Amino acid sequence: MIEIQKINNGGGQSYFRARNISLVINTINQFEPITKRDLVDRTGLSFAKINSIIQTLNKSKLTFETGKEESGGGRPSALYQINPNYRYIAGCELSHNKVHTIIGNLKGEILYNKTIFFEKFSSKELLIQTLIENIQEAISEANITPKKLLGIGVAVAGLVNPKDGAARPFPHLADWGDLSIKHLLEEKLKMHVHVENVANAAALAELNYGEGKGKKNLLFLDIGTGVGMGIILNGKLYAGASGSAGEFGHITVDENGPICACGNVGCIETIASTKAVVRKAKDMIYQGVLSSLRELSSENIENINFKMICAAANNDDKLSFNLLDDMGKNLGEGIVTIINLFNPETIVLGGEIGDDCRTVLDSIMNVVQKRALEIPRRATEILFSSLGDDVNVIGSTIPLIEKFFSTSTGELN
């Protein structure tokens, strides 16, 4: 239930009226479009109170009438919903090589979207400056006044301490150290900031707007240069005691495999990340293995990337198909473990992997069918994300939207 502590519509409000308004806002947000009569049934408030609150909310422009309910007879009832553009959120993703910034509204719709790339060994100072400048540019370009902005959500490709918003460590970024992005951005931009791990953010996006909508138990696998996992249990994000839950990429699948940056050997990340697959493709071609990847890379082997490998596999390139088949098998070994462990309804695959990588999904499913326990296997659906490259950055805004609908947000105006 929402508990708005301060509501200004021309005079002071009692605690109970504020609580009732909060209840109505939350109910509309969950079940829109909704009639006044349905609000009475769902909240237990009288029709007179619902009518008065709806007048207040419509006047503030937080809600509006969106049409009439179909009726078999009699006067049709008006339908009400939340105004998605009542407030906005800046979202930002800081990953291994890019800063992706959006401005979104209360329904996750994107009004501004820009991505810039940076060099792997850029300094910490340059990255922070880039992050701040991109957020400022997004707010300016979207023409959002500070009053209308709830805050800034940041998704980072690193471990995040939920207590202070510190990302630790950032092994792929030079000299990052232990830095609280939350405190730094709040000091520089004078706005509320929420920092989340990219896989956790993506899991929230899928739960609210994507393949996990309406589900309670969801796992999101963020497969790219690294391999992470966001965990939704009973409809809530699970981050663990220190915020480090979901390190799927550090499950060992080959005890004789390569040494991982974490110090372990044979981690999924060392053999089934997109980075590992690209590296192996280059090595094989340098060794003389024939592949259409030479042509796709304009004879520059160092230009080969994961999308090229997926495209080549789809055009019957044997090397590319075998690499993706092995990638899927190794991911499948890890997925068997998490199916047996978590018994999820849905596992969503995202990051750099998508519908153009069907070979990977087919190989995953072959392993899962053979290895996972039958009861949890039958209950689990495995599919690609439908939110594409925006999934992480959309997810970064969701904690701020949830905060808006669950705590004091200031005045209705």
- Rounded-to-integer distance, Cα 64 and Cα 77, Å: 14
Pick the range with the lowest mean pLDDT from 128-142, 171-185, 319-333.
Answer: 171-185
Residues 58, 198, single domain; the answer is no
Task: Report the b/e string of 300-313 with b at 16+ CB within 10 A.
Answer: ebeebebebbbbbb
Residues 178, 228, single domain; the answer is no
Residues 306, 353, single domain; the answer is yes
pLDDT for 351-360, tens place per residue?
A: 999 989 999 9
pLDDT for 51-66, tens place per residue?
A: 999 999 999 999 999 9
DSSP type of residue 196: E
Q: Is residue 325 in a domain?
A: yes
Q: Is residue 9 in a domain?
A: no
- Give me the residue label for tokens 């991109």: 134
Q: Is residue 302 in a domain?
A: yes
CATH number for the domain harbouring residue 59? 1.10.10.10
Residues 316, 169, single domain; the answer is no
Mean of the pLDDT values across residues 271-299?
96
Determine the longest span between alpha carbons in the chain, in angstroms.
Answer: 79
Q: Could you list the residue range(s) of the whole structural domain that residue 73 is in?
A: 15-82
Residues 356, 326, single domain; the answer is yes
Question: How far is Cα of residue 318 from the mean position of the Cα atoms in its chain?
Answer: 34
Mean pLDDT of the chain: 89
Residues 66, 96, single domain; the answer is no
Q: Is residue 10 in a domain?
A: no
Nearest to 327 by CA among 280, 380, 378: 280
- Select from 60, 82, 104 the last residue of a domain: 82
Residue 411 burial (C-beta neighbours within 10 Å; 0-12, 13-18, 19+): exposed
- Rounded-to-integer distance, Cα 197 and Cα 160, Å: 6
Highest mean pLDDT among 4-18, 235-249, 399-413: 235-249
Residues 261, 346, single domain; the answer is yes
Confidence of residue 261 (pLDDT cuts 50, 70, 90): confident
CATH number for the domain harbouring residue 324? 3.30.420.40
Residues 74, 134, single domain; the answer is no
